Amino acid sequence: MPTRARERLVETAEDLFYAEGIRAVGVERLLEESGVGRASFYRHFASKDDLVETVLSERDRQWRQALAEGVAARGDHPLAVFDFLAERFARADYRGCAFINAMAELGDTDTAVYRLARAHKAAVTDYLAGLLEKAGYASSAALAAQLMLLIDGALVTALRERSAEPAHRAKAVATALLG
């Protein structure tokens, strides 16, 4: 019977990294919390950095899927992104954007983690451009970059204020921008 060691490591790491930070959580803690042995850890991951990359890659896939589903459920309008975010910001476990957090925590722009975070932001911006184009907005790429700036600002401000309100304020600015 398979032990699902890899899945347990990834799930545990995702929870702990998001709640406490990447640097704050060592391999020993990951092993203890996941119930996975050291040999199994290194059978699945070359290093903690490798695990961090896996966690962020999986989070990217899940987050973008949830975003697309959440926006589609709200009518597929570009402004629905902010309603989706407001719902996320209201959660008790909201700790900011995992990608912004990783970039800020690790700092080095010449790492796989930084490249993953940057790729995530680029993919979300491309998604926004597609929404804008589908909704008939000209200059969809430029508008998407502006909406991404509002989104990133709302993500950080929601963490500071511990509220969904930044999503509503960003939506008001986006509404005027798209006017």
Residue boundaries of the structural domains of the chain: 1-45, 48-178
For position 107, what pLDDT does the model report? 85
Residues 48-178, CATH architecture: Orthogonal Bundle (1.10)
- Mean pLDDT over 151-160 rounds to 97
Prediction pTM value: 0.92
Question: Sign of dihedral through CA atoms 81, 86, 89, 91?
Answer: negative
What is the distance of C-alpha 169 from the center of its chain?
20
For position 1, what pLDDT does the model report? 34
Identify the CATH assignment for 1-45 out of 1.10.10.60, 3.90.1200.10, 3.90.1150.10, 2.60.40.2130.
Answer: 1.10.10.60
Q: Are 17 and 55 in contact (CB under 8 A)?
A: yes
